[in-house]
Structure 1
Amino acid sequence: MPALDYPAPIRELILQMKSLPGIGQRSAERLVLWMMGRGHARAAELARALVQLEQRVGICSECGFFIERDSACGLCESDKRQKTVLCVVEQAADVLRLERSGAFSGLYHVLGGRLSPLDNITPSDLRIRELAARVPALGVEEVILALSADVEGEATSNYLADSLRPLGVKVTRLAQGMPAGGGLDHVDEMTLHHALSGRRAM
């Protein structure tokens, strides 16, 4: 006698949910069962939102941030942005993190990831050529690298700095070091090293 299991459509939805980052088998199962308990209206709302995401959301060809299809990019087209400073980030979500800080008013460039030989991500897989083209076209004077402080982020930053140097543009990196509100007893050696190297006068 075969083991009892969910009907095929439920199994398929659990499989699709499980393929999302950060969601395992149990979480996927709970989400699907929760939707089932809310009735078909909730499932229809979710399906409609996913279809709209596919049909209406695109990527700006200039900066790489999300836009509604056939709409101008609010970042690239804004007259309030400082056009001579360009901040390079790994993912589109990083743009929002920086914007919410209120500390940056220039333009952005989303790479779409970072170099990772183990994952077969090479320079041709990232938006590096587009970056090199934007710098002279916009008259950029400074490129800020706002990438991760791990091995892949460091490698990507070094590669970008070498690639941009012939363009005569100033290349800087986000300061790294002590987190706000943190003490020395909660800081690892690498962070402490960066904090000491990047110290500034008061």
Structure 2
Amino acid sequence: MASQEIEALTQALARLPGLGPRSARRAVLHLMKKREGALLPLLAALRTVSETLTTCSVCGNVDTLDPCAICIDPRRDPTSLCVVEEVADLWALDRARLFPGKYHVLGGRLSALEGVRPEDLTIDKLVARVSQGGIDEVVLAMNATLEGQTTAHFIAERLEEQPVRLTQLAHGVPVGGELDYLDEGTLAQALRARRPIG
């Protein structure tokens, strides 16, 4: 039987995505066994991130800088903007190093069942960003779900008056699939085969 503190740590870890109670217990045992090499560096990293973590005021990415490292990177193509649902999607695309432009995170997707409305997302901020000019292409990289495609359609309608080329990921992304779980080859094919909307 573990102490209340150890049990509290186990329960906290078990609430993380991808970890259940058994995985959390294994992680806690590993951290206890490797205190100097694993637990203390983890604590230091968590403390640092906790004190410096912020949301980028430009794109919505999560970083320790505002604007984030992607937004201030001079090597990025400022004329190309990729719109994603969540930060995890941005990280998945950026990890593959396939998109040379900048990003915009919506903070979710439209969903009548979950009560997510356009004003709950950063769609107005996206439209304002595009309205400022300088953007030639907007890539709608929504997940291939019904809600993702509904969101893409809604954004396309909001941007139809703007002088930008609207594209979306090809259907190489499986229906029901989420970008964060796709391999780099699938992401590469989907980006290469993007097509105009409408």
> Is residue 111 of structure 2 the alignment partner of residue 116 of structure 1?
yes
- CA shift, 1:150, in A, is 1.2
Q: Secondary structure at the match of 2:70?
A: coil
Alpha-carbon distance in 1 for matches of 2:144, 2:134: 28
Q: Tell me the TM-score normalized by structure 2.
A: 0.77
Q: 1:91 aligns with which of 65, 72, 86?
A: 86
Q: 1:50 aligns with which of 23, 35, 46?
A: 46
Aligned residue in 2 for 1:25? 21
Q: Which runs of 5+ in 2 are unaligned?
A: 175-189
> Is residue 130 of structure 2 the alignment partner of residue 135 of structure 1?
yes
Q: Is the 8 Å Cα contact of residues 9 and 28 (structure 2) preserved in structure 1?
A: yes
- What is the letter of the counterpart of residue 43 of structure 1? L
Q: 2:164 aligns with which of 150, 169, 173?
A: 169
> Runs of 4 or more off by more than 4 Å in structure 1?
none
Alpha-carbon distance in 1 for matches of 2:31, 2:95: 32
Aligned residue in 1 for 2:186? none
Q: Is the 8 Å Cα contact of residues 83 and 138 (structure 1) preserved in structure 2?
A: no
Alpha-carbon distance in 1 for matches of 2:171, 2:127: 25
- What is the letter of the counterpart of residue 128 of structure 2? A
Aligned residue in 1 for 2:30? 34
- CA shift, 1:100, in A, is 4.1
Alpha-carbon distance in 1 for matches of 2:28, 2:73: 41
Aligned residue in 2 for 1:16? 12
- What is the letter of the counterpart of residue 38 of structure 2? R
Q: Secondary structure at the match of 1:119?
A: coil
> Is residue 61 of structure 2 the alignment partner of residue 77 of structure 1?
no
Q: Which has the higher contact order (CA 8 A, sep 6+)?
A: 2
% identity of equivalent residues: 41
Deviations 1:135-162 (A, max 9, x none): 0114323211011111121111111111
Deviations 1:63-121 (A, max 9, x none): 1223323x653322333322222110122233333334443222211112222333332
- CA shift, 1:17, in A, is 0.7
Alpha-carbon distance in 2 for matches of 1:39, 1:122: 46
Q: Tell me the TM-score normalized by structure 1.
A: 0.76
| CA RMSD of superposed structures (Å) | 2.7
Equivalenced residue count is 178
Aligned residue in 2 for 1:65? 61
Q: Is the 8 Å Cα contact of residues 17 and 23 (structure 1) preserved in structure 2?
A: yes
- What is the letter of the counterpart of residue 23 of structure 1? L
- CA shift, 1:18, in A, is 1.0
Q: Is the 8 Å Cα contact of residues 49 and 64 (structure 2) preserved in structure 1?
A: no
Alpha-carbon distance in 2 for matches of 1:87, 1:114: 15
- What is the letter of the counterpart of residue 48 of structure 2? Q
1:144-163 paired onto structure 2 within 5 Å: 144-163=139-158
